[in-house]
Amino acid sequence: MDILAVRFPHRKELITSGKPMQDHEVFDSAGLIDLVIAEVKYGPCRLNGPWTRPPDQNMHRVLYAIGAFDPSHVPTVAESLYREGCYADQTFRVRLFAIGAEKTPWLLPGVAQLTWHEILKFIYCRLNLYKEHKAHHEQWDRDGKWLYGISTKYSVNAADFANAVKTAMENYVHADRRIDR
């Protein structure tokens, strides 16, 4: 697991500004609390073995550690994640995410797949559509600041932004694992 996240159903940013930020459609939770367990890959979208082998009970361990479900309900949630890649009830939606260079047809149908192209396009649009708000980012970590800098450098072209970030990712993966900033 590379990312463990929770997203609340009424999350809004800049709601009082008259220009509220729109979230990516993958996070339209229909009023449910969204729990995300994600694997991030440089290559094709895929899940590591621990998330695909029910006998290992890794899903159970993560769900117990999160603490969102009564312990007696964890096996039901885990079984659904292993079988379908997702689970939902009246309060929660739990999904496995696979992030990578390209989507793959062999993952379970409930696994949400996002490509780097989709993610970088979203980041680029977010940083450019809300420039006046995102310009104040001294609290961001260096990666966020670096992405902001690249987005302003390529402010007229999302493809150039995506290519610059992908090149940095490629250099990181294939060289000394350091993104030039």
pLDDT of residue 177: 57
Same domain, 15 and 60: yes
Structure tokens at 117: 């192209």
pLDDT of residue 153: 82
Structural domain total, the chain: 2
**Which run of H or of E encompasses 84?**
helix 74-84
Specify if 16 maps to a domain.
yes
Provide the b/e sequence for 43-55 (b: ≥16 CB within 10 Å). eebbbeeebbeee
Same domain, 69 and 21: yes
Domain of 144, in residue numbers: 117-174
Domain C-terminal end among 115, 143, 161: 115
Decide: helix, strand or coil at residue 133. Answer: helix
Structure tokens at 131: 């420039």
Same domain, 111 and 138: no
Same domain, 20 and 80: yes
Strands 92-100 and 33-40: parallel
The residue type at 150 = I
Same domain, 12 and 58: yes
Strands 112-115 and 33-40: unpaired
Decide: helix, strand or coil at residue 31. Answer: coil
Question: Tens-of-pLDDT digits for all 181 residues of the chain?
Answer: 899 999 999 888 888 888 888 888 998 878 999 999 999 998 999 999 888 999 999 999 999 999 999 999 999 999 999 999 999 999 999 999 999 999 999 999 999 999 999 999 999 999 988 888 888 899 999 999 999 998 888 766 888 899 899 988 888 877 765 554 4
Give CA separation, 44 vs 65, 98, 102, 107, 151, in Å: 29, 9, 5, 11, 25
CA distance 69 to 92: 9
Same domain, 38 and 56: yes
First to last CA, the chain: 26
CB 170 within 8 A of CB 61: no
Same domain, 122 and 168: yes
